[in-house]
Amino acid sequence: MKALVINCSPVRDGATAEIVRIVENELSGRFTAKSICIDDYSFSFCKGCRSCHDTAVCVQSDDIDIIMDEFERADIIVTVSPSYWADIPGQFKAFIDRCTPWCNTHEPHASLSPGKKGYVIALRTGSSMKECERIISSIEHFYGHLEIECCGSLGLCSVEYKEAVAARADEIAEFCKKITE
């Protein structure tokens, strides 16, 4: 079984990246685990042309296909997202928009292999869980349109810098124990 852990932050070495590192390490004992950072890929915004609604293929050619190949190879996908103004970062939103060819909102559509399981970890600097819930909802909505089964989520409040993650490592490890085949 293969697990893909996605850093949705453009910051490659911050709190989100530290959580991704912990998750990848926790999962590597049970799965072949790999992590990627959304900011390591180059892709454009969706043009809104809707060509993919007729062809199931995007008119643009860039790294979206590389990321979607990672999704295809994975059995388990763990998306780790910080809060940017109470929602997912723009880079990840742009990625989601570009996944329209794979979404079940139109026919024909490309599709991922069935049976994938998705998990979400959301973090924010403030103390209210409401923002984490909004991020989780956005990502679960995305999973639903890719027909990835939503299997669990974790919200982490009061996490601003990488150093704050260490105090939450046990909580993250417990969440990872719930990730199953």
Domain limits, the chain: 2-177
Q: Is the pTM of this model over 0.75?
A: yes
Tell me the per-residue pLDDT of 8-45, one tens digit each, with 9 for 90 and over: 999 999 999 999 999 999 999 999 999 999 999 999 99
Reply yes or no on whether the pLDDT at 181 is more than 80: no
Per residue in 108-162, pLDDT tens?
Answer: 999 999 999 999 999 999 999 999 999 999 999 999 999 999 999 999 999 999 9
The first and second tokens of residue 101, run together, are 């060819």
- Kindly report the CA angle at 118 between 45 and 34, in degrees rounded to 5? 80
Q: Residue 99: what pLDDT? A: 97
Structural tokens at position 24: 């990848």
Specify the pLDDT at position 32.
98
Q: Give the containing element (helix H, strand E) for 3.
A: strand 2-7
**Superfamily of domain 2-177, CATH level 4:** Flavodoxin domain (3.40.50.360)
Integer Cα distance of 170 and 33 in angstroms: 19
- Supply angle C-alpha 161, 38, 133, rounded to 5: 60
